[in-house]
Amino acid sequence: MDKVEKLIRELRDEKLYIHKAVAYVLSKIGDQRAVEPLIEALRDEYSSVRKAAAEALKKIFPSHKLFLDSYPYLLCTNCMLRVEKKKAKLGLFKRWSYVVCRGCGTAEALIIGIKKVVGIIGGDINNYSIDGDTAYVKLWFEKEKKVRNADIDMLVIAESEDLKNENEYDKAIDAVYNVLVNDHTRPRDYVRRIPVVIEGIPPFSIRAKRVLENEFGGVTHM
């Protein structure tokens, strides 16, 4: 836990003087992780705490402008999710717009200029990579048998040294489909809008092929 994380935890302390002091320190640091906790403090029962939080946010928000100018082409590299735009009321008439990852709720790990996100099953990618305005994100980790949720615009299934047979590919495809379709924060037809590209001849069953053809937005072979 680093200094900012400790301060954010202390911001939720019940002691009034700690609230005020922490808000002041966070305003000096200007870390984007403090935005949401400070906005929560705007609803504190004590006016002095609300004022301290508002003053801290006024100092942090200007550095947030780059994210606002890049909206919606932002991606959180911690969660591999897109952002959502929110508003905070600072004072009687002043409102500030800001963006945070819709997963972790912070702007800590946002990268700008990402117009397309490609999810990968197989291939030779270890985690994620950026090429111009496109992010390539690994969705299935075979060694850990772990699936990753991500806001993707395309799904690529490729030959891989990690995935060696039909059974392993089927498990990966099922896991990715389930995590995408069960994220109820997205539109109901989200998965059906995702095109699938098959690279090479990765082995998977007829059943998995039908899932790709019937549940996603069309299949193309390369």
Segment 95-116, tens digit of pLDDT: 778 888 999 888 888 999 999 9
Residue 12: its pLDDT value, please? 59
Average pLDDT of the residues in 57-73: 84
Residue 104 Cα to chain centre, angstroms: 7
Domain ranges (residues) in the chain: 3-111, 115-221
- Lowest mean pLDDT: which of 68-77, 90-99, 111-120? 90-99
Rounded to whole angstroms, the Cα distance separating 19 from 55 reads: 13
CA distance 212 to 140: 16
Higher pLDDT, 100 or 92: 100
Q: Is the pLDDT of residue 18 over 60?
A: no
82 confidence band (pLDDT: 50, 70, 90): very high
Averaged pLDDT for residues 48-76 = 83
pLDDT tens sequence across 28-56: 666 677 777 777 777 777 777 777 777 77
Q: How far is CA 139 from CA 102, 136, 215, 217, 220, in A?
A: 18, 10, 17, 18, 19
- Model confidence band, residue 23 (pLDDT cutoffs 50, 70, 90): low
- What CATH architecture does domain 3-111 belong to? Alpha Horseshoe (1.25)
Q: What is the DSSP string of 137-198?
A: EE-EETTTTEE-----SEEEEE--SS--SHHHHHHHHHHHHHHHHT-TTS-TTTGGG--EEE
Q: What is the pLDDT of residue 22?
A: 67
Query: Does the pTM of the predicted model rise above 0.85?
Result: no
Buried b (16+ CB within 10 A) or exposed e, 146-185: ebbbbbbbbbbbbebeebeeeebbbbbbbbbbeebeebee
